[in-house]
Every structure is written in structure tokens, then in C-alpha cells.
Amino acid sequence: MVQENLADVEQRIQAACERAGRDRNEVTLIAVSKTKPVSMLNEAYGCGIREFGENKVQEMMDKYEQMPQDIHWHMIGHLQRNKVKYLMGKAYLIHSVDSLRLAEEISAQSVKHQVQTDILIEVNIAGEESKFGISGEETIHLVEAAAALPNIHIRGLMTIAPFTDHPEDNRIYFRKIKELSVDIDRKKIDNVNMHILSMGMTGDYEVAIEEGATMVRVGTGIFGERDYGQN
């Protein structure tokens, strides 16, 4: 099933790139494997997937130990400061930085472990109350403050668009965050670049690609529905 799903997702990514006049190489597919067993991750790995996304630190660490070494692990979930230390040298990219205090902790732990950590700033672009992420207006201040911290590097922005059955509804948000990233890039802040735009999930990744996503985070579309039942 994973293989067929991946083929379908890949085809859709290519079609979206073509519609937008973009090169397929500009878009990285992250397979979001949260709640899924290692056997399914291995299936995806066998199909060539090397980018995996998880939203819980403990789960990522468990899978990190069991999977091959050449994987890039993406932390995409809300992160508590007391768990940052476990990610050092293991998370390829932390997508979910939405406060200066969290950025400071990632910096402090990176210094302590003598590693460099790439991060994205998570923006709540639609201003949804239920969502983590910093507001669009506050983003530049957080970027400027976090840019000065040692051993961390801001590589772009991440957003989770509203849940909707109509992906077209989210086009406006994807466009807004792209504009925000261009504005920030223009400021040429030391130690900051806006190369990465992490946006688009199973329901809306094609629209996100049309609007400039460089990373899409697809879970259900690859691994099927998640069961949060008893475990």
C-alpha cells in the first residue's frame, strides 16, 4: 500500500510542479510517519524515502534507533523546552519554533552538545486560536531575535493551514506566508535565510506547491489514516 500511495503522491507533486512551472527538485517530500510502525517506515525507505517527519520526541528517538542512519528526521510537532536536549544532533530540521524561549533553549543545547541546528519558524498564518505558531506580524521580531543566538540557523518558515475539505481555501494562506518569507529574505538578516517553506499536508499539498512550498509534509496520503485509539 505504501508503495502505491507514494507513486500517487509523487505523480501529484510532479503535476503540481508542472502547473506552477517549477522544477521537481525544488520540492522535498517529507513522509510523516507519526503513530505508524517501523515496518511501514521501512517500506517507505525501501521506496527511496529518506525524509521522515515525527511530532513527538520520544517516538522520533525510538524510530531513530531502529531505522538506517542515512535518514533526515524532521521534528514537526509542538516542542517542549525540556525535551530539546534529546533532539541534538539527531533532528535534521526543527520545523516548529514559535517562541524566543524555545529558540534560546535549542541554541543553549546546541552549544552544549557542540552541534549546529537548523530551524524553521512556525507561523500561525490564519490566526487560528487552536494552533501553535507565532502570528504573521510577530514573525519578523522573532526572526531578528533568534538570528543572534549561537549554533542555530533559521532556514525558513513553516505553517499548518486550517483543516478544510476545500484545499483552494488555503491558497490565500500559502500565498501570504510566501510573501512574508520574501519580505524577511529582503532584510538580509545575518545568519538567516528563507530557502525553506514547509507547507502543505495530505489535503492541500498540491496547492501549497503551486504557491511555492519547498517542503510538503504528507502523512495520511502515504501511510493511510492514523489510529489514535488505544495505545
Contact between 221 and ligand PLP per CB under 6 A: yes
Of residues 76 and 126, the one with the C-beta less far from ligand PLP: 76
- For ligand PLP, the binding residue among 5, 28, 33, 55 (CB under 6 A) is 55
HEC secondary structure over the chain: CHHHHHHHHHHHHHHHHHHHCCCHHHCEEEEECCCCCHHHHHHHHHCCCCEEEECCHHHHHHHHHHCCCCCEEEECCCCCHHHHHHHCCCEEEEEEECCHHHHHHHHHHHHHCCCCEEEEEEECCCCCCCCCCECHHHHHHHHHHHHCCCCEEEEEEECCCCCCCCHHHHHHHHHHHHHHHHHHHHCCCCCEEEEEEECCCCCCHHHHHHCCCCEEEECHHHHCCCCCCCC
Contact between 196 and ligand PLP per CB under 6 A: no
Binding residue count for ligand PLP, defined by CB under 6 A: 14
Of residues 63 and 217, the one with the C-beta less far from ligand PLP: 217
Contact between 160 and ligand PLP per CB under 6 A: yes
- For ligand PLP, the binding residue among 44, 79, 106, 218 (CB under 6 A) is 218
CB of 189 to ligand PLP, least distance (A): 25
Contact between 202 and ligand PLP per CB under 6 A: yes
CB of 30 to ligand PLP, least distance (A): 8
Residues that bind ligand PLP (CB under 6 A): 32, 34, 55, 76-77, 160, 201-203, 217-221
